[in-house]
Structure 1
Amino acid sequence: MTGVEVCAVVLAAGEGQRLRPLTELLPKALCPVGNVALLDRALTRIAGLGLTGPARVAVNAAYLAEQVVAHVGDRAHLSVEPDGPLGTSGGIGRLRGWIDGRGALIGNADAYLADPRREPGKDIAALLEGWTGDTVRMLTRPMPEGATGGFSGHRFAGFSLLPWRYVRVLPDQPGNLVRTAWRPAEAAGELELITYDGLYVDTGTPADYLTANLHAAAGLTDPTATLTGRATESVIGAHAAVHGTVTRCVIWPGATVHEGETLHDAVRAGENLTVPARVDSMNRLTTPIRLIAEETA
């Protein structure tokens, strides 16, 4: 696809503040979508491009880093940020020695991408096709009509590609790629926007996280789950127990929905942690309402 040597970095250091209290239990990168950790979805997508193993793939970690480190194991090079997340730019800057002259394919672990072809990696392969190593490339989706910001009417869709000459000057300190790489490349006429034809969801809010799950696997119940109640258009995780009624919900692995409980458009974790999301008149998930730790009635 490209004659330039490329490595991959999955950014998994963020705190996921908007997903609290779920992310008090798991780092955002390990939150399951369709019963698969977001981080594993990213690693599978990158593997579809032939990028595997600690020599070619790196994962950074900061918030609840021990969980990320244990989950990744020897599948990738691990870069731990002990003083807290360095942001998208600082995380790459800290990996300069490992990247070592290569181009860097960078993906956000919390990005949910769904390509209709269902071929891992093929959907983002256009980022690498014909790349000379001179430009910054960004996977994008067209912005909704009337929306502002973005890049020439497009918004970032989870993955970007940086040449070494951009990587080598990134400082090992807090910062984001918008300011240190993407905007400078845009100003220099060196930013290429690659349109992504599939669905992209930034899973940063409870509503968007639920949207991604329902798109990925609505109606999925793990074989190890116990279902004595009723589940409609929901995702039920491993060893979960649903004795009540759930509709358009995500029930995390090991979670319980008690007899007599009714949940709608929500995420349940543990025995009684419920994170709801509001639904508009067209039955579409919108902005999240409050996050609550709910005692079982």
Structure 2
Amino acid sequence: MEPIAAPALSMSRSDLVGVVLAAGAGTRLDPLTQLLPKALCPVGNRALVDLALDRLEPTVGSLAVNAHHHGEQLQSHLRDQWAGAVTVSLESDQPLGTAGGIGQLRPWIDGRSVVVVNADGWTPTPLDALLEGWDGQTVRVMVNGGSTFSPSSKIVASTLPWRIVERLDDQPTGLYEVVWRDAFANGELEVVSHDGVFIDCGMPLDYLRANLEAVALAGDSLVAEGAQIDVSAKVASSVIGTGARVFGDVEASVVWPGQVVESGERLIRSIRAGTSVTVGPL
């Protein structure tokens, strides 16, 4: 994927922080989340949380991720992949929700404005439209597929000025309940339309769709370095993780790192995630 250019802002990057919300248990993505926290499930051979951070990095001065479910595993991954460039906010007792998670980060945010994305929301679209001309004083939401806001809107990303953030408690609460709903009712919510591809990877079928979209963008199967594809195997429109070994046929499927597709097997619209975990066909 080409590097994402920084958008035109009416404020400095140093005045902005980016937060990836990644504390959810991912129960709807079971059984995949029995193996990995949802934020570490790979799309196009890159963890969802890394893809979210990739989108934020060109636009903000600092990055943070909140974590609860398998929090130590997520923290270890971020330490290895981002070399200390990402602050991790561990919610040890209970998940704090989308607003409470931001509330716990208030001392770190420290007067700056925030750009918020969910780790499980996959899109190749940069954040230019959300931030174009934004002065850091208003609440904005980028809504997928329309320019109106409702409780059922699919939110691609949001902005939060410090005057809003400083009032958020580190208690289990959601951004809709404590920020977006009132801002909308008072005519203070700015809505930006997103017309590109956006997939909430909350369920296995959606997760597979995101991977197939990544394949479509690449124009061919995505085979990670270190994967072994036998000469007799057929791989089409699929994602093959590092260290995977493929001896059978794989079509429109995802094979996680280190997994094996045996000779005579045929995966179609499936996810091979573990030695005893294959989801599909979907």
Q: What is the identity, as a one-letter code, of the residue corresponding to 2:280?
A: P
The aligned residue for residue 211 of structure 2 is 213
Give, in whole Å, the separation in 2 of the partners of 1:225 and 1:132: 46
Match of 2:48 among 38, 61, 70: 38
Q: What is the identity, as a one-letter code, of the residue corresponding to 2:154?
A: F
The aligned residue for residue 126 of structure 1 is 129
Matched, 1:141 2:144: yes
Q: List aligned pairs for 1:265-284, cutoff 5 A.
A: 265-276=269-280, 278=282
The aligned residue for residue 107 of structure 1 is 117
Give, in whole Å, the separation in 1 of the partners of 2:58 and 2:190: 22
The aligned residue for residue 173 of structure 1 is 171
Q: What is the identity, as a one-letter code, of the residue corresponding to 1:192?
A: E
CA shift for structure 1 position 154? 8.4
Give, in whole Å, the separation in 1 of the partners of 2:27 and 2:162: 31
Distance 1:60 1:152, change over 3 A: closer
CA shift for structure 1 position 69? 0.6
8 A Cα contact 1:257 1:271, kept in partner: no
Give, in whole Å, the separation in 1 of the partners of 2:151 and 2:174: 20
Give, in whole Å, the separation in 2 of the partners of 1:14 and 1:227: 35
SS of the aligned residue for 2:122 comes to strand
Q: How many residues align?
A: 262
Q: TM-score, normalised by structure 2?
A: 0.87
8 A Cα contact 2:106 2:165, kept in partner: yes
Match of 2:225 among 223, 226, 241: 223
Matched, 1:58 2:58: no
SS of the aligned residue for 1:57 comes to strand
* Cα deviation 1:58-111 (Å, max 9, x = unaligned): 111110011111111112111100013211111011111111111111111111
The aligned residue for residue 6 of structure 2 is none
CA shift for structure 1 position 153? 10
The aligned residue for residue 11 of structure 2 is 3
Q: TM-score, normalised by structure 1?
A: 0.83
Distance 1:222 1:133, change over 3 A: closer
SS of the aligned residue for 1:114 comes to coil
Higher mean C-alpha deviation, range 3-12 or range 200-209: 3-12
Give, in whole Å, the separation in 2 of the partners of 1:3 and 1:182: 22
CA shift for structure 1 position 265? 0.9
Match of 2:243 among 239, 243, 250: 239
Match of 2:161 among 135, 160, 163: 163
Q: What is the identity, as a one-letter code, of the residue corresponding to 1:124?
A: L
SS of the aligned residue for 1:101 comes to coil
The aligned residue for residue 5 of structure 2 is none
The aligned residue for residue 190 of structure 1 is 188
The aligned residue for residue 253 of structure 2 is 249
8 A Cα contact 2:256 2:272, kept in partner: yes
The aligned residue for residue 76 of structure 2 is 70
Give, in whole Å, the separation in 2 of the partners of 1:177 and 1:32: 26
The aligned residue for residue 203 of structure 1 is 201
* Cα deviation 1:227-249 (Å, max 9, x = unaligned): 12222211100001112222110
Q: What is the identity, as a one-letter code, of the residue corresponding to 2:188?
A: E
Q: What is the identity, as a one-letter code, of the residue corresponding to 1:63?
A: H
8 A Cα contact 1:267 1:274, kept in partner: yes
Q: Which runs of 5+ in 2 are unaligned?
A: 1-8
Q: What is the identity, as a one-letter code, of the residue corresponding to 1:111?
A: G
Distance 1:39 1:170, change over 3 A: same
CA shift for structure 1 position 181? 0.8
Give, in whole Å, the separation in 2 of the partners of 1:168 and 1:267: 42
8 A Cα contact 2:241 2:258, kept in partner: yes
Calculate percent identity across the aligned residue pairs. 47
8 A Cα contact 2:140 2:189, kept in partner: yes
Matched, 1:48 2:58: yes
8 A Cα contact 2:267 2:281, kept in partner: no
CA shift for structure 1 position 197? 3.4
SS of the aligned residue for 2:198 comes to strand
